Amino acid sequence: MKYYEVEFTLSPISADACDLLASLAGEAGFETFEETETGLKGYVQQSFFNEAALKTALDDFPFEGITITYDIREAEDKDWNEQWENEGFEPIVVKNKEVNSGKCIVIHDGRHLPDPSLFTSHCSLLTSIEIDAKLAFGTGTHETTRMVCSTLLEHMGTVCSPRVLDCGTGTGILSICALKLGAASAVGYDIDEWSVDNAHHNAVINQVDDRFTALLGDASILYNKVEGLFDLILANINRNILLADIPLFRQKMAPDARLILSGFYTDDIPLLVERAATLGLTLESQKQENSWACLTFR
């Protein structure tokens, strides 16, 4: 999968302006961002990049006195897993802040193992997830992944052995989390062939591959390759894809099913709530961490 790396320079720079820029750039297909000293670097799949939409958004940028320029180049096409093999990541502990159940999830890379004191100091019941990431996304380091995992801690006990659909599965972390928390089975799909292979690989590492199916494609595969209904649907994707695909998710929801969405900013919450309401979905709960949001619908 080929990506563009777009470097945005803001003058003068401010955190609020960067947050708004990231939100607007998401409408042009950008998937992820990293902060720089002068602004942001954004990453977008070449086939999804809409420069006309980006220019329109920047022309209408509502912050007066801020100049934004950008430079487009092809992102380095390399095996990102090499970086993770060399560096890895420190274990990440996820708890549900709203439910004091003593249940925790620890996400690690298999080499940086969690401190045994977690079992006594924080968690009475700890679920371990090992992620060997080919891409630096979906390891639990991002707010949206942590919030979805935290929401799973809250809801997995309310449905007996649910069937899970994981839209944009990435490393497979959300499916693996659900399976380890008691899901009967999970189906994940992704448009990136590397992600599909990596999700299956991680399912094997976590010994849940017999209950996990990873498919290559976008939401259109829900028409002909994914059979039946699901008790729990997870989608940690950018706002525009969520807005477009929610009708398909709704068709795959079993009676009394839940839909957990993340991958967007708190400013986007009204749009998603309104879109879900037109499909008969009711907002049940929401979380936010920094400027990111996670919504649960019934």
Domain boundaries, given as residue ranges, for the chain = 3-74, 82-297
| Confidence at residue 82, expressed as pLDDT on a 0 to 100 scale | 57
Residue 130, Cα to own-chain centre: how many angstroms?
17
pLDDT exceeds cutoff 90 at 189: yes
Cβ(96)–Cβ(150) under 8 Å?
yes
| Confidence at residue 96, expressed as pLDDT on a 0 to 100 scale | 67
pLDDT exceeds cutoff 90 at 154: no
For residue 24, what pLDDT band results from cuts at 50, 70 and 90? Answer: confident
- The fold of the 82-297 domain, in CATH, is Rossmann fold (3.40.50)
Residue of 191 and 258 predicted with greater confidence: 258
Q: At what angle do helices 173-180 and 143-155 cross, to 10 degrees?
A: 20
What DSSP string describes 121-181? HT-SEEEEEE---SSSSSSS-SHHHHHHHHHHHHHGGGSSS-EEEEET-TTSHHHHHHHHT
| Confidence at residue 136, expressed as pLDDT on a 0 to 100 scale | 41
pTM, two decimal places: 0.73
pLDDT exceeds cutoff 90 at 253: yes
pLDDT exceeds cutoff 90 at 234: yes
| Confidence at residue 134, expressed as pLDDT on a 0 to 100 scale | 56
| Confidence at residue 290, expressed as pLDDT on a 0 to 100 scale | 83
Nearest to 273 by CA among 248, 222, 229, 239: 239
- What H or E segment, with its residue span, contains residue 68? strand 67-74
C-alpha 206/C-alpha 217 separation (Å) is 24
Q: In what order do the strands lie in the sheet with 125-130?
A: 92-95, 103-108, 125-130
- Among the four given CATH numbers 3.30.499.10, 3.30.70.100, 3.40.190.10, 3.40.50.1370, the one describing domain 3-74: 3.30.70.100
Average pLDDT estimate for 265-289: 94
Cβ(45)–Cβ(31) under 8 Å?
yes
Beta bridge partners of 189: 167, 215
pLDDT exceeds cutoff 90 at 15: no
Q: What is the mean pLDDT of the chain?
A: 84
Cβ(214)–Cβ(145) under 8 Å?
no
Residue of 103 and 286 predicted with greater confidence: 286
C-alpha 286/C-alpha 294 separation (Å) is 6
| Confidence at residue 275, expressed as pLDDT on a 0 to 100 scale | 96
Residue of 157 and 259 predicted with greater confidence: 259
pLDDT exceeds cutoff 70 at 122: no
Place of tokens 């180049």: 73
C-alpha 260/C-alpha 230 separation (Å) is 12
| Confidence at residue 44, expressed as pLDDT on a 0 to 100 scale | 84
Strands 185-190 and 212-216: parallel
C-alpha 8/C-alpha 67 separation (Å) is 10
Residue of 134 and 297 predicted with greater confidence: 297
